[in-house]
């Protein structure tokens, strides 16, 4: 065997060099075979599908999947001490298999990175997609749809940091407490059956920090308002709106109650009041030593990462009247201008339990009053060693209120999820996949 030398002339390899080259080749082949066998061993445990009562004359059905994939760029071993599959080559086969086996018509995915791996999979499975992310973010939100069923009619990205919130008493202002770089990804999908019908689909990943209730409330209001405005722009006011994703609030949170027009409890008002602050990403003078632009950008990114275990508000000051942050009466008034959504999982679980299914709920676990909205949400949608709660939803705004939940992917049990996900055979993410079918 000959190889060219640096002078361009061929040189003869020694027997020892040939042996080393052959050993490297065999090692590479063995590694490839090992990787293939690992992928074959990642078969997920089955999840039950709850088939719900439906009218015989039901219209065409739509199957919607929503899932936070857990971006690989956010993973740190210390945050998932109980997980047995944190490397990309361990998690991705689980994630890809889950997406393919659910075979949903619409995918709403959050914390999406490594697009070079995911997009070819989606395209081979018959999906078209649209991806959006915040400025400088390494992960984002993706909407995919079966291209034999739908055609992309229009699209839009909502940058929460740049959106004004208008109230009657003042000129439009941002009224933001934190520049979070979160976005919502909106698409208008027209059906390919010449029926002139379609869907508005919006997916988002709201700000993660547990203490920033005010900012999440502001963001979800903007999402709903802008989704409805987007529908108006398409002259499609009779199209249903699907709003799905990782909203990072629980069913007992003030934001959930505001969406469903429930009176706020005193404790809920307190969480909003405590989070009416101004972070240094909005007002750099909050810090004694104002950082340079590069330092501020890095600090903002550090504060933004969902893996950050911080649970208190830092680098912020209490809001002053001149900051223009919304008061609780103003917030309530704004949400009262929105139509009340429906939660597909809460409705589906209620129907399933009426049919005799055993499905554990958020309300049963937490002792939430049965007359409060959110009682029927699943027991968990995020389940790690350190953090377990309900953060993910599939909402619908149906102008004619004719949609009915006809099927639901049964939530996993705590026995399946313990001691935490990601977990081999259960989930490649720290969130559970949600799938609902409507007619």
CA separation for the pair 247, 141 (Å, rounded): 12
Give me the pLDDT at residue 58, please: 58
Comparing CA positions, the residue from 306, 131, 315, 136 lying closest to residue 207 is: 306
Architecture of domain 49-438: 4-Layer Sandwich (3.60)
CA separation for the pair 54, 438 (Å, rounded): 10
Looking from the CA of 263 toward its CB, the CA atoms found within 13 Å total 3
Give me the pLDDT at residue 305, please: 53
Give me the pLDDT at residue 53, please: 86
CB 252 within 8 A of CB 374: yes
The tens place of each residue's pLDDT in the chain, 439 residues long, gives 444 444 444 456 666 666 666 666 665 555 554 444 344 455 899 999 998 987 655 567 999 999 999 999 999 999 999 999 999 999 999 999 999 999 999 999 999 999 999 999 999 999 999 999 999 999 999 999 999 999 999 999 999 999 999 876 666 687 988 999 999 999 999 999 878 899 999 999 999 999 999 999 999 999 999 999 999 999 999 999 999 999 999 999 999 999 999 999 999 999 999 999 999 999 999 986 544 544 445 444 444 455 555 578 899 999 999 999 999 999 999 999 999 999 999 999 999 999 999 999 999 999 999 999 999 999 999 999 999 999 999 999 999 888 999 999 999 999 999 999 999 999 999 999 999 999 9
CB 241 within 8 A of CB 381: no
CA separation for the pair 150, 156 (Å, rounded): 17
Give me the pLDDT at residue 8, please: 46
Task: Find residue 107's DSSP bridge partners.
Answer: 65, 144
Q: What is the pLDDT of residues 376-423, one digit of tens each?
A: 999 999 999 999 999 999 999 999 888 999 999 999 999 999 999 999
Give me the pLDDT at residue 38, please: 41
Give me the pLDDT at residue 312, please: 86
Q: What is the per-residue burial (b if ≥16 Cβ within 10 Å, else e) of 83-120? A: bebbebebbbbbbbbbbeebebbbbbbbbbbbeeebbe
Give me the pLDDT at residue 402, please: 87
Comparing CA positions, the residue from 109, 103, 87 lying closest to residue 39 is: 87
Give me the pLDDT at residue 300, please: 47
């Amino acid at each position: 065997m000959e190889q060219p030398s640096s002078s361009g002339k061929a040189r003869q390899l020694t027997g020892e060099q040939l042996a080393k080259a052959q050993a490297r080749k065999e090692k590479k082949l063995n590694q490839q075979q090992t990787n293939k066998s690992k992928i074959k061993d990642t078969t997920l445990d089955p999840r039950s599908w709850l088939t719900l009562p439906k009218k015989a004359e039901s219209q065409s059905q739509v199957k919607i999947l929503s899932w936070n994939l857990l971006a690989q760029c956010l993973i740190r071993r210390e945050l998932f001490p109980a997980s047995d599959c944190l490397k990309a080559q361990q998690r991705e086969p689980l994630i890809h298999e889950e997406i393919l086996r659910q075979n949903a018509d619409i995918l709403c995915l959050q914390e999406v990175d490594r697009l070079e791996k995911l997009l070819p999979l989606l395209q081979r499975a018959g999906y078209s997609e649209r991806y959006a992310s915040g400025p400088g973010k390494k992960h984002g939100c993706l909407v995919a749809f079966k291209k034999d069923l739908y055609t992309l009619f229009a699209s839009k990205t909502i940058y929460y940091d740049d959106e004004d919130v208008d109230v009657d008493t003042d000129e439009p202002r941002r009224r933001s407490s934190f520049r979070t770089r979160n976005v919502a990804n909106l698409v208008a999908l027209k059906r390919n059956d010449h029926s002139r019908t379609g869907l508005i689909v919006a997916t988002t990943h709201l700000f993660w920090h547990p203490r920033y209730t005010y900012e999440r409330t502001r963001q979800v209001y903007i999402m709903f308002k802008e989704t409805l405005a987007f529908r108006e722009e398409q002259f499609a006011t009779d199209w249903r709106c699907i709003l799905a994703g990782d909203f990072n609030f629980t069913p007992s949170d003030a934001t959930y109650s505001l969406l469903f027009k429930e009176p706020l409890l005193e404790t809920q008002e307190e969480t909003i009041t405590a989070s009416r602050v101004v972070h240094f990403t909005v007002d750099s003078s909050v810090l004694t030593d104002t950082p340079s632009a590069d330092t501020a950008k890095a600090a903002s990114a550090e504060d933004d990462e969902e893996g950050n275990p911080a649970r208190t508000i830092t680098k912020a000051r209490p809001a002053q009247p001149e900051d223009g942050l919304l008061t609780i009466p103003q917030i309530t008034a704004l949400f009262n201008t929105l139509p009340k959504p429906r939660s597909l999982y809460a409705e589906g679980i209620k129907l399933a339990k009426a049919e005799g299914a055993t499905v554990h709920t958020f309300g049963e676990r937490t002792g939430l009053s049965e007359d409060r909205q959110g009682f029927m949400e699943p027991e968990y949608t995020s389940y790690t060693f350190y953090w377990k709660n309900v953060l993910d939803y599939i909402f619908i705004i149906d102008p004619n209120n004719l949609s009915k939940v006809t099927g639901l992917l049964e939530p996993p049990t705590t026995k399946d999820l313990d001691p935490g996900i990601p977990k081999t055979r259960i989930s490649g993410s720290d969130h559970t996949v949600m799938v609902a079918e409507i007619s």
